Amino acid sequence: MSEPVVDLGAIRGDWNFHARYVTKAMEQTLKRTQKLWRALQANAPAEGEVPMDHPLMEEFIEACRQTRALTDDVLLLQETKPAPGRKPAGKSRASKGMRKSKRGARR
């Protein structure tokens, strides 16, 4: 099975959006992982153990796998980070000029 090819040009197009998305996804996944781990600890069969056969264990393992996948996204974002000094795409000069001319028309 081969890994799908990632279009790095698409990521570079809006790097900040993707960085925010990955950050939020990582935060949510870590919160979920902690919540599940606390629930497993609350059902501990003995001090310092968690129940290995508890129904929540599979969910916990899946949350850990998702965290691992998100770390791959972080590494990809590191590789594709735009050069410093390059401003993110914003409004063009033409549209800014239009706003100024509209203000002048109101006066």
Would 76 be classed as within a structural domain? yes
pLDDT, tens digit, 9 for 90 and up, residues 34-48: 999 999 999 999 999
User: Which residue range is the domain that position 53 belongs to?
Assistant: 8-82
In-domain check, residue 107: no
Q: Which residues lie closer than 8 Å to 70 by C-beta, 6 or more apart?
A: 22, 25, 26, 29
pLDDT for 49: 94
Note whether residue 27 is domain-resident. Answer: yes
What pLDDT, in 10s, does the model give residues 33-86?
A: 999 999 999 999 999 999 999 999 999 999 999 999 999 999 999 998 888 775
Q: What is the pLDDT of residue 19?
A: 93
| DSSP string computed for 67-91 | HHHHHHHHHHHHHHPPPTTPPPP--
Please check whether residue 101 lies inside any domain of the structure. Answer: no
Residue 44 forms part of a structural domain: yes
Total count of domains within the chain: 1
Decide if 35 is inside a domain: yes
| pLDDT value of position 95 | 53
Domain-embedded: residue 105: no
Calpha distance 104→54 (Å, rounded): 69
Contacts of 104 by beta carbon, 8 Å cutoff, 6+ apart:
none
